[in-house]
Structure 1
């Protein structure tokens, strides 16, 4: 097991400060070398000052919860899981509005997810754009990739609450705002291809379910997050989370590009190959085959016909 500790970034991108902006101090201090070496491959930590923003103070979070309550959508509220290996959707959920849940965190072990706050409060849109621009600038731009989805989320959890193991199909940058959080995360390489394929064949935006028994605990990284600390979570990284003895507030922004979605389509195709008794190579081994698989899964032609056509080209993988 890797116990991750935070180190100060020595090579950060500084942006001019606009004192009239609500996000004038909002930025992440990320080591450029770590980003370029590990981006979307291995989790790594960073520091930030998002927790100092007015939008994350208690009264502002109460107002945000009321906005979501009034809208009646865009949130997910669940109880704490009994343990990290609990099946994700077996945990009771619903029955609370965000405002009601926030008022009762001392009495119920609840986990509140407020989705896409940038669609509710302009300050969150500005923050999202600022942080995403920082990451892309440090990477030297997006290259030939196009952003297909970019959004953020606010997580508010009761003390001693557990979120069971799962993975997300997006690239993420996670920041701790209030309280303490113990974040157990694995590199995406520690998820089995069959687990990923079963998720991507569904073609939905959701969490990916995993079995704790399939994880090697010696390969996990553990981040003991406090306000001002964060970490980068690559796409498909298995993870589970536990809060400490007080309320926890976290912020994360996530995104998908056409390239990351293409990987999902390749894995969806590989799922069909396994149904035919084949042993498909993971994405990246045969680029020309990957291209054919991704195109077949776009639905331009009927799916079964497309799969059958491309299967005839890739029998050599069996």
Structure 2
């Protein structure tokens, strides 16, 4: 663990468990462990998070919570949402069977400062040649009931799962195994369905397993399907993310989605530089048209 001496005290910072050059090669491709200084941070106590939840609940789309008996192959939107304020759910979190997500927590300046420390750490891991791809750092906070499962899914972002309080098990799949996450699922994801990944029965045998305790973090590679099972305790954890620029992968997969709908079997990103450039331009046009339509609809509703 990396420490900086201040007189007789030591300040703990973000650090990788393995040598930096090993983690630099693994970034985006393989999971790896890290350590962090946030386990006793006052911003992540239940009382502080209650105040944060009231703040986040005022922003449309930045708060999600559900409750119920969830299995590994369940999907977002299919789990019951409690008909009560999120603060009530937090107060009952030990018995609620709930999963609470607060997004864009970095809009609060105090949390933004915490995120900035992490972002500097990841840019250092990525090195000069990789840091230019890392955009828009974001912090999400998870509050989870004992024994709750977070279902199988994958994400587009550069992601670190950070354990603050409680403990849990995490399973991470190989992001390049197309029998786990198919090209079609990736295309559908980038076309707008974040629940595009489907659990396959054999993946629990082949996935890499991690136990997370307070002070632990794991890098989950982009497109690496994963799921989580909380231990018999209340869990507080963070998802700290960077986005990639849209041209890097998203616009290519978006173009491939529409090519497949036309009966073409497209090649994935990285097979042809010229093809990727053409698809990125097409995917960008699709994205901009879709965004313009959404703004028009939003304006009409207003």
Q: TM-score, normalised by structure 1?
A: 0.80
Q: Cα offset for 1:187?
A: 2.2
Equivalent residue number for residue 87 of structure 1: 75
After superposition, the C-alpha distances for 1:249-286 in whole angstroms (9 at most, x for unaligned) are 0012111121x653111112222222333322211011
TM-superposed CA distance for 1:209, in Å, is: 2.9
TM-fit CA distance, 1:192: 0.9
Q: Is the 8 A contact 1:176 1:249 kept in 2?
A: yes
8 Å contact kept, 2:123–2:131:
no
Deviation at 1:296, TM superposition (A): 1.4
Match of 1:34 in 2: 22
Q: Say if 1:301 and 1:228 are closer, same or farther in 2 by CA, change over 3 A.
A: closer
Correspondence 1:1-318 to 2 at 5 A: 25-31=12-18, 32-69=20-57, 74-120=62-108, 122-141=109-128, 145-190=132-177, 191-202=181-192, 207-213=194-200, 216-258=203-245, 261-299=247-285
What is the Cα deviation at residue 292 of structure 1? 0.8
Write the deviation string for residues 13-50 of structure 1: whole angstroms up to 9, x where unpaired.
Answer: x6687xxxxxx645244531331121001111122221
SS in 2 for 1:289: helix
Say which SS state the counterpart of residue 53 (structure 2) adopts.
Answer: helix
Which range is displaced more, 249-258 or 261-270? 261-270
Question: Does the CA-based 8 Å contact 1:155-1:249 persist in structure 2?
Answer: yes
Q: CA deviation at 1:70?
A: 5.7
Q: Which runs of 5 or more structure 1 residues have no equivalent in the other structure?
A: 1-8, 18-23, 304-318
CA distance in 1, matches of 2:45, 2:92: 18
C-alpha distance 28-252 of structure 1, shift in aligned 2 (>3 A): farther
TM-score (norm 2): 0.84
Contact 2:134 2:244 in 1 (8 A): yes
Distance 1:200 1:286 in 2: 20
d(CA) in 1 for partners of 2:218 and 2:155?
15
Give aligned pairs, total.
Answer: 282
CA deviation vs aligned residue, 1:195-244 (integer Å, no higher than 9, x gap): 10111123xxx734322136533321111111111100111211111111
50-59 or 293-302, larger mean C-alpha shift: 293-302
